[in-house]
Structure 1
Amino acid sequence: MKKIDALLDEYGESHQNKTNKLIHWICVPLIYFSIVGLVRAIPFDLLSNFSIDKNYLNWASISIVLVMIYYLTMSFQLTIGMSLFSILCLFICNKIILLQLSILWISVIVFIVAWIFQFIGHNIEGKKPSFLRDLQFLLIGPAWLMHFIYKKLNIKY
């Protein structure tokens, strides 16, 4: 069994209840987006002497590259899907910034509300969130959802 399959199976063990699954389909992408937003809110003055577009080179884009390297160690195909979703999240964050809204506060609110619902879902499920056992499950959650999309589209991962 591939490492990704073992991790997805283990993650899935604590996500069997239909209500909890529905909550996860909504909240996991929101949490992922909010984390991208929180990291995007960190000032990027590392290369301030150079003319760079901070929409493309910032702490969020650097973090996304590192996360994609982690996914790449397990599944090239899932990395493609997660890369596309990550780019979408970063694009939305940049649009929020262009609208002169606070990406920091929007991300904080989304993060808190989504986690409240996640814990409600796990209370319904009767099992603790997977990440309490192993922090890497914070990255497996989005991949777990992506693998269902791949299965529906008949794409091997």
Structure 2
Amino acid sequence: MNATMPMRPIDRYFASYSDDHRNVLNQRIHVVAVPAILWSVVALIWCIPTFGTWMKTGIWAALAMFFAWMFYYRMSRPLGLGMLAVFFFCGCLCRLVEMRFGLAALLWSAVTVFVVAWIAQFIGHKFEGRKPSFLTDLVYLLVGPAWVLAKLYRVLGWKY
């Protein structure tokens, strides 16, 4: 980036997040665990009961995904569009599991994935020797998925 050009907020977030994720093993764990956690959180919110018959399951997850998407889109339009696709996939997977196996199976799958993925994250940070970024600022819970997606963008030669 040009020295005279100010860094975008997303670049500052990624620089700080990257400082806490230098170890190759920790990075590899994050590439798997962060998307797993993202899906599990969407699935957990998907399972929140709604009141009234006009609302279907998933409405709360749709709202949460929309507000998270707004954060990503404001930080970077290309990443925002990528996260929209990720959220669409998460929603479709939740609906598929719910339709095929039931809401209870979705809930238990989400809890299991959430716990296993967080254990993996903390193991990665043990190897890293640094605490997770979100312990300094909760916004890094949103930065993590975008950081993983940005890694994919770089592999594909796409700008974010």
Normalising by structure 2, we get a TM-score of 0.90
The within-5 A match list for 1:35-74 is 35-45=41-51, 48=52, 50=54, 54=56, 58-74=59-75
**SS of equivalent residue, structure 2 residue 75:** coil
Question: Does the CA-based 8 Å contact 2:83-2:146 persist in structure 1?
Answer: yes
Aligned to 1:6: 12
**SS of equivalent residue, structure 1 residue 24:** helix
Identity of aligned residues (%): 40
Higher relative contact order (CA 8 A, sep 6+): 1
Runs (5+) with no aligned partner, structure 1: none
Aligned to 1:155: 158
Structure 1 CA distance, aligned partners of 2:39 and 2:135? 21
Aligned to 1:111: 114
Structure 2 CA distance, aligned partners of 1:73 and 1:133? 22
RMSD: 1.3
Alignment coverage as a number of residue pairs? 152
**SS of equivalent residue, structure 1 residue 151:** helix
Structure 2 CA distance, aligned partners of 1:88 and 1:69? 17
Higher helix share: 2
1:122 alignment partner AA: H
